[in-house]
Amino acid sequence: EVQLVESGGGLVQPGRSLKLSCVASGFTFSNYGMNWIRQAPGKGLEWVAYISSGSSYIYYAETVKGRFTISRDNAKNTLYLQMTSLRSEDTALYYCARGAVARVMDAWGQGASVTVSS
Amino acid sequence: DIQMTQSPPVLSASVGDRVTLSCKASQNINKNLDWYQQKHGEAPKLLIYYTNNLQTGIPSRFSGSGSGTDYTLTISSLQPEDVATYYCYQYNSGYTFGAGTKLELK
């Protein structure tokens, strides 16, 4: 069974940093591109970042470019999202999702909650 | 940036109804569009990819169509378990979700 489990969320002050993790199981993680998608409370979905299977291709939404860094460790079957200079508008549930080139996202985690507030 | 407009924002329908959800892109997206279903409190689920391809395990009452700027998700016979918010998502240029259509039972 394909499974994605996010962790690392929490309450953080504006301007601070936080790192999310997503552990994958049930499939060959190193063969798949991976994404982060977020959902602000009561709002719709927003694609955040993509990383290819071998980390050669990385893309970001304009809203997070320069502040967030996506990475992965294929030996540990883990996807990361390093978030810096956090703003209140980054408050959201952050999902990791499997999907090549940020499309056909066929497996999703349950999300990690990030709240940016003083 | 490509904008995706979904209509209606909220749709009320009865069990057994044929339901049509619309998604309009601000420019041609060449069928590079997926549909996702999100039930309350759950993660999104892929329903349809590349406009009209049914994801494995999704009931055949779901179908997608469209081209150019106009796309449609159809549920041929609405079931109670289909109550959810439905999002279209384009990846032709950048990556953009629509605002969603909330489907309710009448």
pLDDT at residue B31 greater than cutoff 90: yes
Measured from the Cβ of residue B53, the count of other Cβ atoms closer than 10 Å reads 14
Measured from the Cβ of residue A28, the count of other Cβ atoms closer than 10 Å reads 10
Per-residue pLDDT band for B42 (boundaries 50, 70, 90) equals: very high
What is the mean predicted confidence (pLDDT) over A37-52?
97
pLDDT of residue A102: 83
Placement of tokens 């408050």 in the chain: A91
**pLDDT, mean over chain A:** 97
Contact B92, B2 (CB under 8 A): yes
pLDDT at residue A101 greater than cutoff 90: no
Q: Which two tokens stand for residue B39?
A: 């039930």
| Cβ–Cβ below 8 Å for B43 and A109 | yes
pLDDT at residue A100 greater than cutoff 90: no
Per-residue pLDDT band for B17 (boundaries 50, 70, 90) equals: very high
Nearest to B95 by CA among B19, B25, B13: B25
What is the mean predicted confidence (pLDDT) over B77-97?
97
Reduced to 3 states (helix: H, G, I; strand: E, B; else coil), residue A100 is: helix
Nearest to B88 by CA among A27, A115, A44: A44
pLDDT of residue A45: 98
Placement of tokens 């449609």 in the chain: B72
Q: Which two tokens stand for residue A95?
A: 């999902």
Contact B71, B90 (CB under 8 A): no
Nearest to B37 by CA among B58, B18, B17: B58
Q: How distant, in Å, are the alpha carbons of A32, A116, B106 from that of A101?
A: 9, 29, 38
Q: Which amino acid is at A79?
A: L
pLDDT of residue A47: 97
In angstroms, the CA B65 to CA B52 distance is 5
Residue pLDDT, tens place only, B43-69: 999 999 999 999 999 999 999 999 999
Q: How distant, in Å, are the alpha carbons of A39, A73, A116, B10, B64 from that of B51?
A: 23, 32, 36, 22, 6
Residue of A1, A4, A35, A103 to mutate when probing chain B, most B C-beta within 10 A: A103
Residue pLDDT, tens place only, A102-118: 899 999 999 999 999 99
Those residues of chain A whose CB sits closer than 8 Å to some CB in chain B are 37, 44-47, 50, 59, 61, 95, 97, 101-106, 108-111
